[in-house]
Amino acid sequence: MMSKNDSTVDLPDEDSTVPVGKGRPTPKRKTQEAANHRPLVGGQATKEDKQARKEAQRAQRAKENEALMSGDERNMPLEHRGPERRWLRDFIDARSSAAEWAMPVMLAFVVITLFIGSSVAGTIVIMAFYLVLIGMGIEVWLITRSAKKHFEERFGIGRLPRGWRLYAITRAMNLRRMRVPKPQVKRGDYPS
């Protein structure tokens, strides 16, 4: 019988080498994560690439701003292009409306309420303010209703561009000289 101590262990030959470990130190976690880090969009951009891209974007914005001021539709931003948008702009610009004075009137009411001391006068000013707001809201509703009716007669039902109502309302509530793109028609010169 053999005991545990009597067992022999076969040792490898001296000629065969058994590698110990993987032959290099384990990299730190921070180093591995940095090596695996990739940008979500694009590759490794150099400073020159970034500067060139910024210059191209700046030139494109300048070109778009010039188009907005001159009315050149080919170079306008996408949200202002197309015959439907142009027709809506011309329809709104041809109208004279009280809604375009909304911001100056609201600013005037704020200033007036700062200087009103009596509660009766303050109540009257606030009621007048609400009446003006309601009147402007009704006028804007009538403008969009009329624009939709005339647009559908001109282009057909279902051709209204997406977001046309907000586009028309925001244009109608801006002072004429502050509208962008600049108005291309005179007041009363409605598009056909």
pTM for the whole thing?
Answer: 0.66
Q: How far apart are CA 158 and CA 176, in angstroms?
A: 29
**Cα 155–chain centre separation:** 28
Which residues neighbour 82 within 8 Å (Cβ) at sequence distance 6 or greater?
A: 73, 161
pLDDT higher than 90, residue 117: no
- The more confident residue out of 20 and 161 is 161
**pLDDT of res. 37:** 83
The DSSP annotation for 157-185 comes to: TT-PPTTHHHHHHHHHTS-GGG-SSPP-S
Region of residue 38 (phi > 0: left; psi between -120 and 50: alpha; otherwise: beta) = beta
φ, ψ (nearest 5 deg) of residue 145: -65, -45
Side-chain half-sphere CA neighbours of 178 within 13 A: 10
Measured distance CA(110)–CA(120) in Å, rounded: 16
Under the banding of pLDDT at 50, 70 and 90, the label for residue 14 is: low
Of 170, 152, 146, nearest to 91 (Cα)? Answer: 146
Q: What pLDDT is attached to residue 94?
A: 92
Which is more confidently placed, 9 or 55?
A: 55
Q: How far apart are CA 90 and CA 111, in angstroms?
A: 34
Q: CA-CA distance, 76 to 157, in Å (whole number)?
A: 26
Of the candidates 162, 135, 168, the one whose C-alpha atom is nearest the C-alpha of residue 150 is: 168
Residue 110 binned pLDDT confidence (cut-offs 50, 70, 90): confident
Contact call for residues 144 and 165 (beta carbons, < 8 A): yes
Query: Do 142 and 99 form a contact (C-beta atoms < 8 A)?
Result: no
Give the residue, 58 or 113, on which the prediction is more confident.
58
For residue range 35-58, list pLDDT tens digits in order: 888 777 766 678 888 899 999 999
Q: Could you give the CA distance from residue 30 to residue 44 in angstroms, rounded to a whole number?
A: 20
Residue 15 predicted with pLDDT over 60: no
Q: pLDDT of 69-104, one tens digit each?
A: 888 888 888 888 889 999 999 999 998 888 888 888
- Is the confidence at residue 66, as pLDDT, over 70? yes
pLDDT per residue over 130-166, tens digit each? 999 899 999 999 999 999 999 999 998 888 999 999 9
Residue spans per domain, the chain: 96-178
Residues 96-123, mean pLDDT to the nearest whole number: 86
Q: What local confidence, expressed as pLDDT, does residue 13 receive?
A: 59
